Chain A
Amino acid sequence: MKLFIGYRRKMLLLPFLFLVPALLLYAVFFVYPFLFTFLLSFQQWDMISPDRTFAGLSNYAELLRDEVFWMSLRNTFLYLLMTMPVSIGLGLGLALLMESLSRGRAAYRFLFYLPVVSPIAVVAILWSLMYDHRRGVVNMLLTFFGIDGPNWLSDATASLWAVAIVGIWRSFGYETLLYVSGLKSIDKGLYEAASIDGAGRLSRLVHITLPLLSPITLFMVIMGVISSFQNFTLIKIMTGGGPNNSSNVLVHQLYQEAFQFFSIGKAAAISVILFAIVLLISSAQLRLSRSAVHYS
């Protein structure tokens, strides 16, 4: 209460004036749809018929019994684990490599960022062609190295990897770019001081560079979780979740429930669960990182 008294009227009014556009938009296009979705998760509806009936927790119960749901849940996490560490690791490695060069940095940055700006629909169609068992460029390259590549999109053990590789291809350039800009803003004096103290390359990397990059890493991890949980277009176009749900993920299953099986309630229940998971992970990350992340 004391806080309130401390503010002058104007100081309360002005910030809200600036927030009005955002808040209004969020209210109409985020809060309401989300509440509506939440409500729908307790109902049974096919989106068209007039009757929407209260269904209690039955949508959730049905999901827990649904083996496709567990498969999608598992794949959602697997996809995250397949893509994010590789993508961030590649980004860091490339950024360090590039920044230590005396020339050619801009060219590499441009090339590595190309996949990020490629339209995702194009990427999905293009890679589907590249993954062709016999004639695709992926297996041709693998054969060149003496590896007999799998039937990527039609093999239940390879399909999620196939999508994950595209996910990595599409995202590591962004990570590289962020790390490059992070490295640029590190005070070179710190390295010089450390060198004078006799610190080697590795020690400088571990004791100066990595800690100073940790806020960026945290940002990437959080954004990585969010974006990998939203991975819809690639799955939809490349595998449709198949074969036998081996590449199905929650966002794709929710789409199937809504638009192919006409179960809006079940789709809404998946939405709510998906949201809860992302929220849980992100807040856990933030909390854990409070201690681990170095703020200069």
Chain B
Amino acid sequence: MTRYWKSMEETIKHMLLVALALLTMVPIIWMASISLRSEEYVFSGHIVWTGPLHWEGYVKALTEVPFFRWLANSLRIGALQTLGQMFVGVCAAFAFAYYRFPGRDILFLFVLMTMMIPMQVTLVPTYLIVNQMNALNTLAGVVVPHLASGFAIFLLRQSFLGIPKELAEAAAMDGAGAFRVLWTVYVRMSGTMLWTLGVIAFLANFNEFNWPLLVLTDPDQMPLPLAFQYFRTETQMDWGATMAIAALSMVPVLALYLIAQRHIVDGFAQSGLKG
């Protein structure tokens, strides 16, 4: 009897979750559905498109703009920025988690504070600095200003704090230098967390477009999100092509997330955010 109730309850929960998941998916389903319609049916009022499929949007997206070049640019920006953020973050987090030194807590508070400032606040001065460094229209100009990520430092520190200090001390006793301790103990033991952070940071960096669009004027170097605007001018909007690009640009992101999603949950569970 209890078993019956249990499976009943499970079914009800599934129904609820499926309904919610469908509701959540409506925008994405709609995006895909619009990308496959001919122009005159964009506003026809169908949620799901059952008429003939039109691939013109995809053809335009792949031929009229250098889609793959922009995709490669985005991937490169995302990867470099993420790796850099991880490197800077691991080093800083190690200092905060392993050492005791005067001013540590204040410095850490400062790191937290940096997260609170919207990019728009420091946009102009940052742009001027990048210009001073002659880094406009370069990959470095896009990536370097955002290498110090408060979010990464914070999460890594939480995760490092969860590693027993005895392990590190034992390694130090065996004569391991600071770098060795960092590498063999802290980095090795936070593999999942590093993956998690890497994926989350990559997804954010891959999608960022306000800053790259400012620094890069050369169309050949632009990141993918530029393409969303490309078929949209003052008075014209090519919905089919725009939605096709939107759908295409989600593919790499989804693939990455699908591969990494197990680790993401475990990573957060391992971090200092657990109960």
Contacts and interface: CB of A to CB of B under 8 A. Distances in A.
A and B touch in the complex (CB under 8 A): yes
Contacts of A226: 115-116
A21 B86 CA distance: 12
Given A119-B207, A251-B118, A254-B121, A33 B129 contact: yes
A23 B111 CA distance: 9
A166 to B, nearest CB: 9
Interface string B192-211: 00000000000100110110
A71 interface: no
Chain A interface secondary structure, helix, strand, loop or mixed? helix
B275 A185 contact: yes
Given A117-B253, A230-B119, A141 B26 contact: yes
B59 interface: no
Interface stretch (A51-59, A62-70, A93-101, A240-248): A93-101
A93 to B, nearest CB: 9
Size category, A interface: 35 or more
B125 interface: yes
Interface hub of B115, B124, B243, B258 (most chain A Cβ within 10 A) = B124
Contacts of A173: 24
Chain B interface secondary structure, helix, strand, loop or mixed? helix
B250 A118 contact: yes
Interface hub of A37, A122, A219 (most chain B Cβ within 10 A) = A122
A32 B129 contact: yes
Interface of A: 3-4, 7, 11-12, 14-19, 21-23, 25-26, 28-30, 32-34, 36-37, 47, 94, 97-98, 100-102, 104, 106, 108-123, 125-127, 129-130, 132, 135, 137, 140-141, 169, 173, 177-178, 180-182, 184-186, 211-216, 219, 226, 229-230, 232-233, 251, 254-255, 258, 264, 271, 274-275, 278-279, 282, 294, 296
30 contacts: A12-B101, A14-B178, A16-B101, A21-B91, A26-B148, A28-B129, A29-B129, A34-B117, A34-B121, A36-B122, A36-B125, A47-B124, A97-B16, A101-B13, A110-B257, A110-B258, A119-B246, A121-B209, A125-B232, A125-B246, A126-B246, A135-B43, A137-B47, A177-B268, A184-B269, A229-B116, A230-B118, A254-B120, A258-B124, A278-B116
Given A114-B254, A122-B31, 6 more contacts: A25-B148, A26-B148, A36-B122, A126-B243, A226-B116, A274-B121
